[in-house]
Amino acid sequence: MISEKDLRVGSAYFTVGYCDVDLTVPFVEPHIYVGKNIEPDESRDGVDYWYFQDPQTFFREGPFTELPKVTKRHRVLQLSSDDLDDLLTLQGVVDALYGLMSRP
């Protein structure tokens, strides 16, 4: 779990999901933090949004906020404050996966 104050632009954060209903087959997705409330007038409804980009396009082309055109190949993730709870650091991923090993 990540708090807003710990997020650093350009740093990697992760989500862990599962392919099966028994939660025994995990997958890890990396996301690079790009910034908060990037779109104009975004927080005027009182809701803040944090933006993340897939690492492939981030490292090859740069942050989507600095590109002249964003295409479908630029996978951008928009999260609200409730969604930030799903983000993990690399150590958080290791801990989550290690926890699977200790299950019966």
Residue-by-residue pLDDT tens, the chain, 104 positions: 688 889 999 999 999 999 999 888 999 999 999 999 887 666 667 788 999 999 999 999 889 888 877 766 778 899 988 889 899 999 999 999 998 887 76
pLDDT computed for residue 2 by the predictor: 82
pLDDT computed for residue 41 by the predictor: 67
| Contact of 15 with 31, CB cutoff 8 Å | yes
Residues 6+ apart with CB under 8 A from 58: 32, 34, 64
Alpha carbon 45 to chain centroid distance? 22
Burial, 102: exposed, middle or buried (Cβ in 10 Å; 0-12, 13-18, 19+)?
A: exposed
Domain that residue 20 falls in: 4-101
Domain count, the chain: 1
